[in-house]
Structure 1
């Protein structure tokens, strides 16, 4: 099948007809040629046959064959005025006229690109004037979602969806780390064609995640950035089982944003290992970011994972990444290694028997183990590629650095968060059906009788539901204790039967990807481009009708 745009289609049709005239009948050519109309719907053209008859005649400029639609996805780090240096150490936020002019130009760029989905990072969400400016200009075309970074940073994420897209659900993903980074999940339904005659077709679902990972100011920050990425994948894994009924029918996943990395780093390789495809190849010359040091990097991506490429759990340790803190994970792995707990300044041979039961002293925010055992624990937790590249001094810097203030309480989901996620009808209670869903999704209890008995025990007053306080005690005292890496990882693999991976879902096919300004595709920064220190990455995907082979 040949797919071309409607622009200059006459010349293309003539060229194709001349090339195939000796080997193809007009009807065969007609069946293999598709044109995209102004609405994004793929159509077969009318072909003039010998004698003046028209193939597919009967009214209309062309025959709609329900061949799907284009989906445009853009990601852009806007460079928040709070962080943009303009005069020495002054920030653009101190000059309203300056940042307003730049924001107007960014709005014009977004209007021009006309993407169906736009993911923005470093949006000044705490500035009501700026939020209103964007909503006034873009609100007629787009639905608006925003999420602030934690810690009062001022900036955050904005996701824009065209009004024709049905938003099914939105979830905030809070990393609880010292970078105050976040991610935003949106589950949506797209029409598989913009043609009115095709609206009877099923509407495929897509899951979109917009994020901005930590900038690696220090070498060990790569571990934190990898932890953030895996928390996203862990949350997504949990979400599939709770809100998507095990991902049936399967959905395509789009992961967009500023990853503050480059195509040769471990995060890129990790996503490729999971069969995600990137908006640019690993050996691409693309640059998307000029950082504060003047370095040119490719750090902004649109990642795609189609259903047929989904091979079991996105992360074998996803339960730990979601429900346990870094301190808990490291402690469990060190115990499995049989290692003694060392203070960072004692070295491999030192051992303080009075502190032998302590890995992390929360009151002093201090690790009590040496870099060797810490690296071994990280390796067992799946961070080996990152940890192996760090020297002992860099590991010690991590153990004594700002991350130590968060590792005791940096679980992605705490009891209240889990309760809200499983409270599907949002009535502030969990009934027996929702409780059964929790236990089944997480394989907490093995049989329906065990689940029933557990619910009756927790519902001591026979009210038919569990409130948040009872749930929190149950989760903290019982459920959270079962998440050990090896046993749970093997258990969750059984949730992906081989025949389930072949189910037809919503497949996106990358047609092209580009950067604005285009000179960045050549590996050079565009002179005079000052809208941001990032370029805008846009991917054009073809979405066939649901169930189309």
Structure 2
């Protein structure tokens, strides 16, 4: 063996030794966040903070003819936008890691650990499990990579956004959820779109993407495993509002998981919605967000009605940009939806600080990512009545924030009238509360609808008692309707429903209400929920 060959052998040996240490390090601390339960992947190694130098030395860094300022500050070589250099390095590293020490990673079994739970994929289990993941993956056009220069975005540096999105896909494909819902998907970049479509397609998924209106650059992606679902229909919903937001509706039928029910009359269909609501930059936008949810539920109702569909489970996934204290949360709860994560952990509506899922651009941490579930046995109020209650709830919140009691509120609403509220006075009070009179406010039709719901007897005025009952309390649905629904089981059909078995947020610190400083995959946590299909009677009558 000549000196050159000896040198190459020594270099290769040293490379394998470092790879082994890297693999071991990442197995115990994959992202530097303390997560000890994520299987290492090639791009989690690239993103590991302690191995940046290693990846540069052994993989080769993108070449640049001139030195420039790094987006992270300091002098550094500017990342190249040429694909062959970066992907070639990755390919070579993957080939090396598939041999030698990388074999250790293959012995970790078929249990994928996420956060504090292990979600099993047993091939022959009698009770099939459906898993659903929702994840706002932070579009590169929004990801700031230099705090000193807010205009510097990851989208300007191909190497960075490509590596991060490969890491995201590595995690998604190792987790292999039955349903994947992504927000802030960079639909405006063809290379990234092809990356997701190709890798998800190769892994057995069928996917659908939808960009926001007015070419905002990002949008949504929903993907389901082809072997688990038959696609019955796919619809797109454009809100056509100031936020340019959209939603996806996917109608699927369970295929393989519930094959033991094929000879029964049990329907095995699901409606899945993926959305990303507007961020509430100011209080006037809270009404816009509420209307976005209202439009989603209206669309789902009309879809079921137009296609003569029977009640079936509905999953609403996404980034809702609002916490459990907000009006959107209360609106969905009034419609019978439950937060799957809170259900799995036995949290109540009052447990608003148990977990977080997002750190926003202001540095605030909050719980905004949900997978909502509505089973077909749940009683539902009239949608319009729930929306009215939600708007009056917002109305009451604004009054209380101004330290007004119910007496003060009645005085504000009646204006110059002595003892009653008229429509014109009601309208003027809404203007004073900034709920109308601007592009985000209530429409004239919505104002009239609110008045109709409040003026139950239709005499054109509200006295103090009616104000308390129909506006201040705004829970005037007759409770006997629910009792009637629960007593009509003999006339109901069977349908598939879901029980929540597990729900996990990752990184695990967020489950304790903390945000790890060294988590950089996104500014949102990943939420995965495990559902078990069950038979149930349809009680989802709309009263």
Structure 2 match to 1:130: 192
Give the CA RMSD over aligned residues.
4.1
Structure 1 match to 2:122: 38
Of 296, 299, 315 in structure 1, the residue corresponding to residue 365 of structure 2 is 296
Mapped to 2, the partners of 1:318 and 1:173 lie a distance apart of 19
- 8 Å CA contact 1:308–1:502 kept in 2: the answer is no
Structure 2 match to 1:83: 142
Mapped to 2, the partners of 1:147 and 1:37 lie a distance apart of 30
| Cα shift at 1:409 | 12
Distance 1:483 1:519, change over 3 A: closer
Structure 2 match to 1:316: 385
Structure 2 match to 1:111: 173
Asked if residue 255 in structure 1 is aligned to residue 316 in structure 2, the reply is yes
Mapped to 1, the partners of 2:289 and 2:429 lie a distance apart of 16
Asked if residue 505 in structure 1 is aligned to residue 495 in structure 2, the reply is yes
Structure 1 match to 2:303: 239
- 8 Å CA contact 2:287–2:440 kept in 1: the answer is no
Runs of 4+ in 1 over 4 A off after TM superposition: 197-203, 374-377, 406-410, 481-487, 545-548
Distance 1:98 1:252, change over 3 A: same
Distance 1:233 1:194, change over 3 A: closer
| Cα shift at 1:311 | 2.4
- 8 Å CA contact 2:213–2:244 kept in 1: the answer is yes
The two structures have a TM-score, normalised by structure 2, of 0.58
Asked if residue 537 in structure 1 is aligned to residue 521 in structure 2, the reply is no
Distance 1:192 1:272, change over 3 A: farther
Of 376, 381, 391 in structure 2, the residue corresponding to residue 307 of structure 1 is 376
| Cα shift at 1:273 | 2.1
| Paired residues, number | 356
1:66-111 C-alpha deviation (Å, 9 max, x unpaired): xx41010110001111111112121111111111111111101111
Of 153, 158, 180 in structure 1, the residue corresponding to residue 216 of structure 2 is 153
Structure 1 match to 2:293: 229
Mapped to 2, the partners of 1:376 and 1:516 lie a distance apart of 42
Distance 1:238 1:108, change over 3 A: same
| Cα shift at 1:525 | 1.1
| Cα shift at 1:504 | 2.0
- 8 Å CA contact 1:125–1:146 kept in 2: the answer is yes
- Structure 2 counterpart SS, 1:137: helix
Of 501, 511, 519 in structure 2, the residue corresponding to residue 521 of structure 1 is 511
Asked if residue 70 in structure 1 is aligned to residue 129 in structure 2, the reply is yes
- 8 Å CA contact 2:253–2:268 kept in 1: the answer is yes
Distance 1:296 1:101, change over 3 A: same
Asked if residue 180 in structure 1 is aligned to residue 219 in structure 2, the reply is no
Mapped to 1, the partners of 2:141 and 2:359 lie a distance apart of 17
| Cα shift at 1:134 | 0.8
- Structure 1 counterpart SS, 2:377: helix
Mapped to 2, the partners of 1:160 and 1:128 lie a distance apart of 18
Mapped to 2, the partners of 1:71 and 1:228 lie a distance apart of 28
Of 338, 360, 365 in structure 2, the residue corresponding to residue 277 of structure 1 is 338
Structure 2, unaligned stretches of length 5 or more?
1-107, 110-118, 391-414, 417-422, 457-475, 539-543
Mapped to 2, the partners of 1:156 and 1:271 lie a distance apart of 23
Distance 1:260 1:200, change over 3 A: same
Mapped to 1, the partners of 2:280 and 2:222 lie a distance apart of 24
- Structure 1 counterpart SS, 2:495: coil
Asked if residue 166 in structure 1 is aligned to residue 203 in structure 2, the reply is no
Distance 1:269 1:545, change over 3 A: closer
- 8 Å CA contact 1:209–1:256 kept in 2: the answer is yes
